[in-house]
A = this chain, B = another copy of it.
Amino acid sequence: MGSLASMNEDGSCSTNIVNPLDPEEFRKQGHMIIDFLADYYQNIEKYPVLSQVEPGYLRKLLPMSAPYIAEPVEAILQDVQKHIIPGITHWQSPNYFAYFPSSGSIAGFLGEVLSTGFNVVGFNWISSPAATELESIVMDWLGQMLELPQSFLFSGNGGGVIQGTTCEAMLCTLTAARDQMLSKIGRENIGKLVVYGSDQTHSAVAKAAKIVGIDPKNFRVIKTNKSASFGLSPESLRIAITTDVKAGLIPLYLCATVGTTSTTAVDPLGPLCDVAKEYGVWVHVDAAYAGSACICPEFRHFINGVEGANSFSINAHKWFFTTLDCCCLWVKDPSTLIKSLSTNPEYLKNKATDSKKVVDYKDWQITLSRRFRAMKLWLVLRSYGVANLRNFLRCHVKMAKRFEVLLASDNRFEVVVPRYFATVCFRVLPSALCKIRNEPCGEADHHVHQKHANEFNRKLLESINASGHIYMSHAQVEGIYMIRFAIGATLTEDKHVIKAWEVVREMVDTMLKLNPQ
């Protein structure tokens, strides 16, 4: 522990124990951890994808308090293997198909490791110029890959910032929008501000609205429907806005989504921005999941109309290989963020800031301290290049199509909503269950059949997840319980998708045989 482990008899602090950052010890233990993780990836298919532990399992295994005396890293790694890994849900498993993926990659990993090693706190430019400048550069690169309008890039008058998650991106842009509005109408009117989303919008928007002081009764959840594939209708938005305006309320902020969480629905950005513009509403585009795909020319049309929005974000940690966390947010007018979020205490003052020639990202986000997240995005972009990145995403989509074909080959199943990207929402049809029971499947008992089907699909999902072979999650639209099959774990290959299909089909067979409803 070098200078630090214990004091010498003369009270000085330099001893013969290894310093906690001793380079040679770092090298030794660092190699050990890399091997540990490489072995983990090698064995990852052996673990149940969804952890099978019971609540409270770990407290029974670990001591009641921290050790007084140091323990060797070997002992700790043994405990990771024995006690932690069984409690992990293996998001990196090729058999992971739940929620949206958290797509790790070697390049993303290396970038995070470099950033952790440098351990710089890049709150402003001077605190580590490379952290700020690399972030501005890669955000312009990625913006170009997405063909974002110049107005979102530093090379225009906008700019990009890497936040932790979409929740933060929403919170920052909503705060900026709120303050811009209140500066015009007076802050006593905060109770009149209205935020809009659809019934498919991520719950993070309602949470952000609540945090910034929007009255929860002024959070509009606009209904979508299956006939419009659960996209938000511009006409419905207009009706909601005009109703609010008539009631003396003030429309503030719309979150439009490209790739909703339940069904990967896409809101029509262009027409929605047109309506919003008429009423001076800030539009944020949440493309957390599906934004990544838009680097492929054939998917770019999903964000057509983004030029009318005020801000746009994607989660590179979802489907862009950077590891958690890396939310890329672009804004057309960074000064709105800065007006709301800047601080300027004496202890952070410096000449570079005073020169106004630099970006101080602390003023673009909630937190002061910030990690060097640009490193991982830079490594991903360079290690794979645009060509490979497009192909990775295309292969995921291709595998999702294959899964659709497999589902279509068995008339007990239906794909509930259109598949745009690499997520398939499916279920066992009510008719399949009626058939088994030799019942007619008429319209008369529609609700009863639906309920049965929901119950069956819920049990199906539970049984599959409990088997540990694959892990999927669920969602519900218009009363229909769907199983979500989201491809995007980096290790997933065709064979895993085919195996997953077999797991699903066999479980349905078993359930129908055992208990024909």
Contacts and interface: CB of A to CB of B under 8 A. Distances in A.
Contact of A13 (B175, B345, B395): B395
Contact of A118 (B30, B62, B88, B493): B88
A149 interface: no
A367 B134 contact: no
Interface in A393-407: 394-396, 398-399
A133 interface: yes
B120 A102 contact: yes
B30 A66 contact: no
A190 B168 contact: no
Nearest to A343: B203
Given A118-B91, A207-B343, A1 B391 contact: yes
Nearest to A1: B388
B369 A165 contact: yes
Interface residues of A, number: 172
A5 interface: yes
A443 interface: no
Nearest to A393: B4
A300 to B, nearest CB: 16
Interface in A35-59: 35-42, 50-51, 53, 55-59
B382 A71 contact: yes
Given A58-B130, A102-B121, A369 B493 contact: no
Contacts of A145: 65-66
A16 interface: no
A352 to B, nearest CB: 6
Contacts of A129: 51, 53, 55, 57-58, 87-89
A343 B491 contact: no
Nearest to A85: B130
A102 B371 CA distance: 11
Interface string A126-155: 111111011011100110110000000000
A287 interface: no
Interface stretch (A211-219, A229-237, A273-281, A301-309): A211-219
A309 B13 CA distance: 36
A409 interface: no
Nearest to A58: B133
Contact of A385 (B69, B175, B213): B69
Contacts of A19: 490-491, 493
A7 B66 contact: no
Contact of A3 (B83, B99, B492): B492
A26 B11 contact: no
Contacts of A357: 55-56
A202 B167 CA distance: 24
A291 to B, nearest CB: 15
Contacts of A382: 66-67, 70-71, 76
A490 B13 CA distance: 12
30 contacts: A3-B395, A4-B388, A7-B391, A14-B495, A20-B384, A23-B39, A26-B109, A27-B35, A33-B110, A50-B126, A55-B129, A59-B136, A67-B381, A73-B110, A84-B134, A88-B118, A89-B126, A89-B128, A92-B117, A119-B323, A121-B324, A164-B369, A168-B366, A175-B211, A179-B210, A203-B343, A207-B343, A211-B340, A346-B475, A347-B475
